[in-house]
């Protein structure tokens, strides 16, 4: 069995879906479990619907739902033109949208949107896309059964970012998949959406369909997990901001996990973890160029040392914590970390001195409670104008000269913090957000574009 996950751009419209279905058609001998995202931009639209509902703006919400409905009806019409299944598909889309309209209407009347209701609203994108694509696959002769991901992907009750319950998932996925494969060539399910054990709606966080795919792959012991997207694979940097990136043909699980965690949007940060548990290779492939080489993400011993990529995180915050009392250093560190752990705020980079700690963390987290706690024994300074750049590659800390060379490519901007991870695969810098893009381009140019520079007797890449 293989898992094939198709992101928003791979299912953006009827043309993209037709291409996607032909890619799936070429893999039927490997029993594909197809995991789909919502159509491109649909999740953003659903967020707008949720926002309008919470503001009680029913008119705006209804208009957005009309747009949602007509986009999916048009899609069904284009994919199923002249097919007897069209009427059924159209009715299903209309039913899903009218149920959403009623639900949103009730929220508008109530004037309050809980995370649970929000998760229910934004889960509709994947539900709609998988419904239409399932019909389209069947209409093209691929016998495909539909699986409700909410029955298999069980999470905690953190509705907008459920933490998967792996034991439950390991039990439910194989049962659901083997039942659905009976008499079928392929099965299809939704990425991103999940539920608690009590059946309340949850989602895995933005970009979570990659994570769904790897959880499913883990649960069925898949032969491979394929992440089909709109780029030729994992690249040396984000092609949206760096013009001359190169494709990376092979990369280790650790490198890919670190890249994703440190900002490379091509994979959800948690994607690699379930794959590593079962040592399942993950391939990143381009649905617009299916014959391309792509990137294989494999066990570390199959991967050579050296710099692989530069990633960045724009939305971070830098927190400086100064001890106000003369407590000993270990007591101070212990209280600081207890506060982060109690309030479930996770930290990316840390550097410490005698009575000061600097930390970076994802800027989307709610840090008020942590700051309140820390302020009882320390002065806390929070800076949201910074960004983080990470150079990633296996054993790069052993590459003499890399830090010096990278720092010299950053000569035009202030560097507020440097952190060399204990994992040996990551060296990160904190710079002003305003100079981040130029800095990423500069580091990339230096490491990948200029020349194969050498350091001592070891090549940097």
**Residues contributing to the annotated binding site:** 5-8, 43, 126, 229-230, 240, 265-266
Each residue 188-217 as x (binds ligand ASP by CB under 6 A) or -, in order, gives ---xx-------------xxxx--------
When asked if residue 207 is in the footprint of Mg ion (CB under 5 A), the reply is yes
Residue 8 or 217 having the CB closest to ligand ASP: 8
Does residue 323 sit in helix, strand or coil?
Answer: strand
Contact 127, 195 (CB under 8 A): no
Contact 49, 104 (CB under 8 A): yes
When asked if residue 269 is in the footprint of ligand ASP (CB under 6 A), the reply is no
Among 231, 357, 396, 431, binds ligand ADP (CB under 6 A): 231
When asked if residue 269 is in the footprint of Mg ion (CB under 5 A), the reply is no
Among 126, 226, 238, 348, binds ligand ADP (CB under 6 A): 238
Q: Which residue has the tokens 């290779």?
A: 281
Shortest reach from residue 250's CB to Mg ion, in Å: 21
When asked if residue 263 is in the footprint of Mg ion (CB under 5 A), the reply is no
Angle between helices 58-79 and 14-25 (to 10 degrees): 50
Q: Please report, for residues 151, 175, 214, 281, 285, the alpha-carbon distance to residue 221 in angstroms, rounded to integers and kept in the order given.
A: 19, 13, 10, 11, 20
Positions 37 through 76 that interact with ligand ASP (CB under 6 A): 37-38, 43
Taking the C-alpha atoms of residue 357 and residue 338, their distance in angstroms, rounded to an integer, is: 14
Among 14, 64, 125, 263, binds ligand ASP (CB under 6 A): 125
Contact 254, 300 (CB under 8 A): yes
Which does residue 264 touch among Mg ion, ligand ADP, ligand ASP, none (CB within 5 to 8 A, set by kind)? Answer: ligand ADP
Give exposure, 90-118, as e/b (b: 16+ Cβ within 10 Å).
bebbeebbeebbebbeebbeeeebeeebb
When asked if residue 229 is in the footprint of ligand ADP (CB under 6 A), the reply is yes
Q: What are 333's two structure tokens?
A: 């560190």
Q: What are 76's two structure tokens?
A: 């069904």
Q: Which stretch binds ligand ADP (CB under 6 A): 213-221, 226-234, 348-356, 362-370?
A: 226-234
Taking the C-alpha atoms of residue 44 and residue 431, their distance in angstroms, rounded to an integer, is: 29
Binding site for Mg ion (CB under 5 A): 7, 207
Binding site for ligand ASP (CB under 6 A): 7-8, 37-38, 43, 125, 191-192, 206-209
Binding site for ligand ADP (CB under 6 A): 7-10, 37, 207, 229-231, 234-235, 237-240, 264-266, 309
């Amino acid at each position: 069995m293989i898992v094939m996950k198709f992101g928003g751009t791979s299912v953006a419209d009827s043309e993209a879906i037709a291409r996607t279905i032909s890619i799936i058609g070429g893999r039927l001998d490997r029993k594909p479990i197809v995991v789909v995202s919502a159509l491109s931009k649909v999740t953003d639209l659903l967020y707008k619907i949720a926002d309008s509902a919470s503001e009680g703006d029913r008119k705006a919400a209804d208009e957005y739902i009309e747009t949602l409905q007509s986009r999916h009806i048009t899609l069904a019409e284009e994919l199923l033109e002249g097919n007897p299944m069209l009427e059924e598909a159209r009715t299903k889309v209309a039913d899903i949208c009218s149920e959403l309209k009623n639900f949103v209407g009730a929220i508008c009347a109530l004037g309050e949107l809980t995370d649970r209701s929000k998760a229910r609203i934004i889960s509709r994108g994947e539900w709609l896309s998988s419904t239409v694509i399932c019909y389209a696959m069947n209409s093209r002769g691929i016998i495909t059964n539909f699986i409700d991901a909410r029955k298999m992907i069980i999470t905690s009750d953190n509705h907008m970012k459920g933490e998967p319950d792996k034991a439950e998932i390991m039990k439910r996925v194989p049962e659901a998949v083997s039942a659905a494969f009976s008499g079928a060539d392929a099965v299809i399910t939704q990425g991103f959406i999940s539920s608690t054990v009590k059946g309340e709606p949850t989602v895995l966080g933005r970009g979570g369909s990659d994570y769904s795919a790897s959880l499913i792959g883990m649960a069925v012991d898949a032969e491979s997990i394929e992440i089909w997207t709109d780029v030729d694979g994992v690249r040396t940097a984000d092609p949206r901001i760096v013009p001359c990136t190169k494709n990376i043909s092979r990369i280790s699980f650790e490198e890919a996990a670190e890249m994703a965690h440190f900002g490379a949007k091509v994979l959800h940060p948690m994607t690699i973890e379930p794959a590593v548990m079962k040592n399942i290779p993950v391939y990143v492939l381009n649905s617009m160029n299916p014959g391309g080489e792509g990137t294989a993400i494999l066990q570390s011993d199959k991967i050579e040392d050296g710099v692989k990529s530069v990633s960045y995180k724009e939305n971070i915050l830098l927190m400086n914590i100064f001890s106000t009392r003369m407590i000993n250093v270990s007591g101070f560190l212990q209280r600081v970390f207890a506060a982060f752990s109690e309030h479930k705020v996770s930290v990316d980079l840390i550097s410490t001195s005698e009575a000061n700690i600097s930390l970076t963390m994802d800027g989307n987290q709610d840090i008020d409670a942590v700051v309140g706690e820390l302020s009882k024994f320390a002065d806390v300074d929070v800076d949201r104008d910074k960004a983080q750049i990470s150079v990633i590659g296996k054993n790069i800390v052993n590459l003499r000269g890399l830090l010096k060379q990278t720092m010299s490519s950053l000569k035009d901007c202030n560097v507020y913090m440097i952190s060399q991870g204990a994992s040996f695969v990551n060296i990160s810098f904190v710079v002003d957000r305003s100079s981040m893009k130029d800095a990423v381009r500069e580091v990339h140019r230096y490491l990948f574009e200029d020349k194969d520079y050498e350091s001592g007797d070891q090549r940097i890449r």
